[in-house]
């Protein structure tokens, strides 16, 4: 319990997490506002369209927040102090992942409901009520996707230790590589079906097209299993990272 | 020579340097002293044009730093030895710096030898110890064989051998006629190194002059006398000289030990101790900067442990 | 030696004496060439063997170059070597010009290698396909990568000078190029028009890669010619750099 408090203090007493959080919410809600404002009065905004900004931008920025939470410790060598206080190392790193994950969860809920709420305010006549389970997954589930993305980013941060490298790797992977793989003829689509963020998207948007959004995920898993798969991958990464951190010099 | 005139710099609401006027002469090692937060580093940054003063000027050999062509050949400054990329080798660090001012590569190798880093020139600077990093910074300052040198805490992290080496280096540089301006916290070291002194506190000048004058002028000094014939000595001293009595000894000020010895002899008092109390830099400095300390401990050391 | 050549030499030493730029260059070559080989080896009718399509993966090289340019500049602020540089070059602007010249030159050369390399890779993998460079558009798509990469590098240096922080600058450029431009198109109404004025989309249009971004909706007719698009992209990159220099030259280091 103590370790969680320690990690919480570390996270909230520097500026970059606050900035990242602000930017995440601003991008998510802002994009929803833009979509809501720009959609013709004859067209109707869908629930998943409101979550567009959050699920695209928000995940990226949250991962930067999470990676930085780890890599700055390595850069300023406070990781050595941490490992001195907690020689087994894993408990401290797990505590960090948990705290960052929880913060990201909360951020995701704020971003998701904030974006949806603003859209409802701006377009009261569109059918934006959260009726189906998928609708709820789309809005409330954003927090869960944020949380596991953050855990994944913490794992990457532990393994790479270098801020620039971790950020570049995470952002390029999430934003470019998965779509790029789709272009590979014959095998591309098969690989893509199992790539983590594509699967996470399946959890969020299900199989129905988002109207004026991008095409839905082609993952063969059901939304529930999709979340489990994504969560599983992030935890596996974390376990690998913990193993690496334990053996390495601090 | 470095001449600062009414130099002023504020960061937001804090005035770091306030109407600071001083001169660092050539051919001398000028020590730059002050409590933490007094504005020493800010002043040095102003000298080399990294920050711009809000008012006042600072000239290096009569010229503002920014107007120097190939400034590294005139002014060598080590303001912070951590200004380096940790992934770059020591030699490459010096090479790029030398290249900016057209300094030939042989000079780089020469200096690596001088500071004792030749064997680790290819090692990434991030792996250097604190002392090695300091030495690299010093090498960088000396690249252009400059007439004026500024060092901000150069002995930080050096072992006694290293500190002695720096002291010798600074003295020889000054002896060659260069201006050497050094800031430090280590008073004993400063006492042995600097010939002139500039003391600042809270951004303002507190003292400027020679080291000897500073110690002599501002510290308590006198002669300590112990005698088994206290009454006789007291009678002999009263009315003749100023003295106080502490811990069973007399502390006489204003006269030298010869005179006191004579007075005691005339009064028939045997002396067991007749020793001049040397003024110490530490005492002088603490007395002078007492008012100007930004970050002092509210709790005295004896109160820390229960 | 003149001052200019001194400064260029210094920036060259800086760039090539750490590991990150080398990794970036290696990746910037390996990814496009590798992907191109993969695409052309496995492609059926969904990727016709045209010259334009040999450049499908060149954009990745461009992205990695952008990372290189940002890193080479922003990390100097982080580690304090920018202050050292300004100690050595108090007028500052010449040093910044030298930096953008070196990084830009590296970009231009990289673009040349990626452009021709990808094209060459495709001809190796599919020797029977007609990949000869006939039309202006075909030359532009291969050779033009050099110009696009050059201005990408300039933009990267500019953004890094403005933002001064590695994490922040990397996030901004990566999110902008990989995500934001593509999402803008989904804004109903004005989205498609705004998209056509996005700088990296403009760069894509110059090399004929405008259709690669996977944008499903129909775009209105392009407002600029391909060379017009290059001019636009170049202008924005240079503007970013100039703004960066202006800010850096005047601030406390």
| Residue B31 Cα distances to B162, B167, B208, B279, C180, angstroms | 18, 12, 10, 18, 56
Q: Is the pLDDT of residue B257 over 60?
A: yes
- Percent of chain C past pLDDT 70, that is, above it, reads 98
Nearest CA in chain A to C170: A168
What is the per-residue pLDDT across A142-170, written as a single tens digit (0 to 9) for each? 999 999 999 999 999 999 999 999 999 99
What is the per-residue pLDDT across C161-183, written as a single tens digit (0 to 9) for each? 999 999 999 999 999 999 999 88
What was the pLDDT predicted at B298?
Answer: 61
What was the pLDDT predicted at A109?
Answer: 95
pLDDT band at B299 (very low <50, low <70, confident <90, very high): low
Mean pLDDT of C216-228: 82
Between the two ends of chain B, the Cα-to-Cα distance in Å is 52
Global confidence as pTM: 0.88
Mean pLDDT in chain C?
92
Q: Does the beta carbon of B86 lie under 8 angstroms from any beta carbon of chain C?
A: yes
Between the two ends of chain A, the Cα-to-Cα distance in Å is 23
CB A163 to CB C214 under 8 A?
no
What was the pLDDT predicted at A131?
Answer: 84
Report the candidate in B9, B12, B11, B102 with the shortest Cα–Cα distance to residue B55: B9
pLDDT band at A58 (very low <50, low <70, confident <90, very high): very high
Neighboring chain A residues of C43 at a CB cutoff of 8 Å = 185
Neighboring chain C residues of A64 at a CB cutoff of 8 Å = 167, 171
Residue with tokens 């971790």: A166
Q: Does the beta carbon of C73 lie under 8 angstroms from any beta carbon of chain A?
A: no
Q: Give residues with Cβ within 8 angstroms of A21, minimum separation 6.
A: A65, A103, A107
What is the per-residue pLDDT across B75-115, written as a single tens digit (0 to 9) for each? 999 999 999 999 999 999 999 999 999 999 999 999 999 99
pLDDT band at A40 (very low <50, low <70, confident <90, very high): confident
Q: Does the beta carbon of C7 lie under 8 angstroms from any beta carbon of chain B?
A: yes
The count of structural domains within chain C is 1
Beta carbons of B54 and B19 less than 8 angstroms apart: no
Size of interface A-C (CB pairs under 8 A): 94
Tell me which of B215 and C63 has the higher pLDDT: C63
Tokens at A14, concatenated: 């520097």
In chain A, where the domains are located? 2-247
What was the pLDDT predicted at A207?
Answer: 74
What was the pLDDT predicted at A209?
Answer: 62
Enumerate the H helices of A55-132 as residue ranges. 59-75, 78-85, 90-122
CB C86 to CB B50 under 8 A?
yes
Mean pLDDT of C118-134: 89
Report the candidate in C163, A146, C95, A230 with the shortest Cα–Cα distance to residue B96: C95
What is the per-residue pLDDT across C74-123, written as a single tens digit (0 to 9) for each? 999 999 999 999 999 999 999 999 999 999 999 999 999 999 999 999 99
Tell me which of A13 and A209 has the higher pLDDT: A13
Mean pLDDT of A73-90: 90
- Percent of chain B past pLDDT 90, that is, above it, reads 58
Mean pLDDT of A110-119: 92
What was the pLDDT predicted at A92?
Answer: 92
Mean pLDDT of C38-51: 82
Beta carbons of A68 and A24 less than 8 angstroms apart: no
Neighboring chain C residues of B79 at a CB cutoff of 8 Å = 83, 87
- Percent of chain C past pLDDT 90, that is, above it, reads 73
Domain with C246, as residue range(s), is 3-250
d(CA B53, CA A128): 59
Mean pLDDT in chain B?
89
Neighboring chain C residues of A187 at a CB cutoff of 8 Å = 42
d(CA C162, CA C185): 27
Q: Does the beta carbon of C83 lie under 8 angstroms from any beta carbon of chain B?
A: yes
Angle CA(B133)–CA(B136)–CA(B142) in degrees, nearest 5? Answer: 150
Q: Is the pLDDT of residue C8 over 90?
A: yes
DSSP states along B232-273: HHHHHHTTTSEEEEETTEEEEESS-HHHHHHHHHHHT---SE
CB A184 to CB C38 under 8 A?
yes
Tokens at C189, concatenated: 């109404």
Q: How far is CA A208 from the centre of its chain?
A: 22
What is the per-residue pLDDT across A187-197, written as a single tens digit (0 to 9) for each? 888 899 999 99
Q: Does the beta carbon of B107 lie under 8 angstroms from any beta carbon of chain C?
A: no
Mean pLDDT of B256-265: 85
- Please report the domains of chain B, with CATH numbers, ordered by start residue: 2-208 (3.40.50.300), 222-277 (3.30.70)
Q: How many residues comprise chain A?
A: 250
Beta carbons of A67 and A157 less than 8 angstroms apart: yes
Mean pLDDT in chain A?
89
Longest dimension (CA), chain A: 63
pLDDT band at A185 (very low <50, low <70, confident <90, very high): confident
CB C253 to CB B66 under 8 A?
no
pLDDT band at B306 (very low <50, low <70, confident <90, very high): low
What was the pLDDT predicted at C32?
Answer: 95
Tell me which of A230 and A36 has the higher pLDDT: A230
Tokens at B4, concatenated: 């600062």
Tell me which of C212 and B109 has the higher pLDDT: B109
List, in sequence order, every residue forming a beta bridge with B197; answer none if it has no partner.
B31, B209
Mean pLDDT of B23-30: 96
Beta carbons of A109 and A143 less than 8 angstroms apart: yes
Q: Does the beta carbon of C43 lie under 8 angstroms from any beta carbon of chain A?
A: yes
Helix A59-75 to helix A163-172 angle (10° resolution) is 160
C-alpha gyration radius of chain A: 19
Give how far C62 is from chain B: nearest CA, Å: 24
Angle CA(B35)–CA(B37)–CA(B42) in degrees, nearest 5? Answer: 115
């Amino acid at each position: 319990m103590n370790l969680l408090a320690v990690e919480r203090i570390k996270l909230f007493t520097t500026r970059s997490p606050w900035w990242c959080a602000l930017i995440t919410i601003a991008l998510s809600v802002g994009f929803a506002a833009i979509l809501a404002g720009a959609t013709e009065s004859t067209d109707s905004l869908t629930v998943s369209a409101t979550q567009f900004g959050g699920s695209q931008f928000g995940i990226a920025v949250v991962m930067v927040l999470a990676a930085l939470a780890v890599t700055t410790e390595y850069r300023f060598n406070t990781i050595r102090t941490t490992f001195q206080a907690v020689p087994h190392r894993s408990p401290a790193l797990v505590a960090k992942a948990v705290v960052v994950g929880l913060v990201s969860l909360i951020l995701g809920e704020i971003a998701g409901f904030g974006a949806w709420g603003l859209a409802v305010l701006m377009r009261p006549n569109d059918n934006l009520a959260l009726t189906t389970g998928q609708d709820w997954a789309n809005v409330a589930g954003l927090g869960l996707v944020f949380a596991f993305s953050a855990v994944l980013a913490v794992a990457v941060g532990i393994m790479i230790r270098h801020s620039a490298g971790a950020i570049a790797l995470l952002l390029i992977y999430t934003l470019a590589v998965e779509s790029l793989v789709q272009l590979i003829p014959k095998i591309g689509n098969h690989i893509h079906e199992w790539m983590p963020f594509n699967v996470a998207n399946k959890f969020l948007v299900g199989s129905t097209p988002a109207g004026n959004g991008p095409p839905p995920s082609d993952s063969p898993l059901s939304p529930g299993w999709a979340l489990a798969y994504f969560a599983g991958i992030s935890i596996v990464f974390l376990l690998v990272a913990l193993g690496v951190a334990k053996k390495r010099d601090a | 020579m470095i001449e600062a005139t009414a130099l002023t710099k504020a960061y937001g609401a804090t005035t770091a340097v306030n109407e600071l006027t001083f001169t660092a002469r050539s051919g001398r090692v000028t020590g730059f002293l002050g409590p933490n937060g007094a504005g020493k580093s800010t002043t040095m940054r102003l000298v080399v044009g990294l920050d711009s003063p809000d008012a006042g000027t600072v000239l290096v050999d009569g010229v503002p730093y920014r107007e120097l062509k190939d400034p590294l050949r005139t002014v060598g400054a080590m303001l912070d030895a951590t200004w380096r990329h940790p992934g770059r080798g020591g030699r490459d660090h010096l090479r790029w710096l030398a290249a900016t001012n057209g300094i030939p590569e042989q000079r780089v190798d020469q200096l690596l030898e001088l500071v004792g880093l030749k064997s680790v020139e290819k090692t990434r600077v991030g792996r250097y110890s604190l002392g090695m990093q300091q030495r690299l910074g010093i090498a960088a300052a000396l690249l252009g064989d400059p007439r004026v040198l500024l060092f901000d805490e150069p002995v930080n992290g050096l072992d006694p051998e290293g500190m002695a080496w720096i002291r010798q280096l600074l003295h020889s540089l000054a002896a060659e006629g260069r201006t050497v301006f050094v800031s430090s916290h280590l008073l004993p070291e400063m006492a042995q190194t600097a010939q002139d002194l500039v003391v600042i506190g809270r951004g303002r000048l507190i003292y400027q002059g020679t080291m000897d004058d500073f110690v002599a002028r501002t510290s308590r000094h006198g002669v300590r006398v112990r005698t088994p014939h206290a009454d006789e000595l007291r009678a002999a001293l009263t009315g003749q000289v100023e003295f106080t009595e502490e811990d069973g000894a007399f502390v006489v000020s204003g006269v030298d030990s010869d005179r006191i010895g004579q007075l005691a002899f005339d009064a028939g008092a045997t002396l067991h101790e007749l020793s001049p109390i040397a003024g110490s830099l530490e005492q002088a400095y603490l007395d002078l900067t007492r008012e100007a300390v930004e970050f002092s401990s509210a709790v005295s050391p004896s109160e820390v442990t229960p | 030696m003149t001052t200019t050549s001194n400064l260029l030499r210094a920036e060259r030493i800086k760039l090539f004496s750490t590991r990150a730029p080398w990794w970036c260059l290696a990746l910037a070559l390996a990814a496009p060439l590798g992907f191109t080989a993969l695409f052309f080896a496995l492609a059926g009718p969904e990727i016709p063997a045209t010259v334009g399509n040999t450049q499908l993966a060149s954009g990745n090289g461009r992205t990695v170059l952008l990372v290189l340019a940002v890193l080479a500049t922003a990390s100097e602020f982080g580690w304090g070597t920018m202050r050292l540089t300004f100690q050595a070059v108090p007028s500052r602007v010449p040093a910044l010009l030298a930096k953008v010249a070196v990084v830009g030159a590296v970009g231009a050369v990289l673009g040349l290698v990626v452009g021709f390399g990808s094209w060459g890779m495709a001809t190796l993998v599919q020797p029977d396909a007609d990949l000869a460079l006939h039309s202006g558009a075909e030359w532009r798509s291969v050779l033009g990568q050099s110009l696009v990469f050059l201005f990408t590098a300039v933009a990267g240096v500019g953004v890094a000078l403005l933002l001064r922080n590695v994490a922040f600058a990397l996030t901004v450029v990566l999110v902008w190029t990989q995500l934001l431009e593509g999402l803008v198109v989904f804004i109903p109404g004005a989205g498609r028009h705004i998209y056509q004025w996005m700088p990296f989309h403009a760069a894509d249009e110059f090399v004929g890669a405008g259709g690669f971004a996977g944008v499903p909706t129909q775009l209105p007719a392009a407002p600029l010619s391909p060379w017009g698009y290059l001019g636009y992209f170049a202008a924005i990159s240079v503007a970013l750099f100039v703004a960066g220099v202006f800010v850096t030259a005047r601030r406390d280091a």
